[in-house]
Amino acid sequence: MVIIDHSKPILVFLANGVQGSAVVRAAHSQGLKVRALVRDPARFSRLNSTAIEWRQANLDQFDSLVKVCAGIDHAVLQVPIGSASTMLVQAQNALSAFKSAGVRSFVLKLASASRHLPCEEPSFVANQMIEDAARDSGLDFAIVRPTMYLENLLKPSALVDIMEKGIFAPPISATQHIAWTSADDCAKAALMLLERGSMGGDHRIAGPESITGAELVALISTGLGRHISYKAQPLDEFEREVDVAMGAGIGQRVASKFRYFAAHPDEADVILAQCFAPQAGLVNFQPSNVETWVRLNRENFFAKS
């Protein structure tokens, strides 16, 4: 078991993204020191604290990663979405930097759950390649992967739909059961694993309730105090929206996972529908339910309305 030295910061990748910033906030709230990495120094967070070191690094540049890994024992690694080949190179750069700098353990945070058996869906392929690279590194690590993030409700386009049109329109069927989780819960799970030195596991983080689209919007409606309806977004439309927000070609990359779910409903249930179950390393971990999460984020909804 690896015991964390609290005098040293935990290294957090993509610290200004939805998932990375959740880890920074969770670590900060627990009184842990953080070294927070961003690619663009102009995007350093406004969360200022002597316990947070904001550093610039580029996953494409091994030398910059070695520098920011100096003096680090533990890390939370996430790789930005891209082609499988690009994501693999970036992961390998980080892993090589870990070994060069003497990092002792890390949590690998994946953007979504994976299908363990081989398949051609790009996000699952990329996940598997990164997992294999992590195992080949010989470093101690654990994996944290979500079902589906409630933070999708807070995307600018989703906020407009929810607060102005009274609809939530994700690219997935209303009949699909999902045990929704949150970036905050995944961040807490990652830190719990690091602090307990519980490496070697593959942890699927899910919510405590498996619900349909209609049940989801009923809980959102209660949390916000206004009626919200569910309307599945056509996947072609979703692709175009993502391209506008993230760049040409990214929409197809992101939408492919949802096309896979639509074509393989049994696999979708395995990946998305099962509620969180107690597991080694996460004893006493209590995931948030949807209504509680919505109430905690009310100001984020109404700030955009």
What does the pLDDT look like over 167-201, one tens digit per residue? Answer: 999 999 999 999 999 999 999 999 999 999 999 99
Distance between CA atoms of 111 and 180, rounded to whole angstroms?
Answer: 14
Residue 86 CB neighbour total at 10 angstroms: 15
In sequence order, the β-bridge partners of residue 56 are 38
Q: State the pLDDT at residue 116.
A: 61
d(CA 13, CA 35): 9
Where do the domains of the chain lie, and which CATH numbers do they carry? 10-212+267-302 (3.40.50.720)
- Torsional class of 66: left (φ above 0), alpha (ψ -120 to 50), beta (otherwise): alpha
80-137 pLDDT per residue, tens? 988 889 999 999 999 999 999 999 999 999 987 666 666 778 888 889 899 999 999 9
Structure tokens at 140: 């101690």
DSSP string covering 210-235: -B-HHHHHHHHHHHHTS--EE-PPPH
Measured CA to CA, the distance from residue 275 to residue 181 in angstroms comes to 10
pTM: 0.91
Q: How confident is the model at residue 2 (pLDDT cuts 50, 70, 90)?
A: low
pLDDT in tens, 191-236: 999 999 999 999 999 999 999 999 999 999 999 999 999 999 999 8
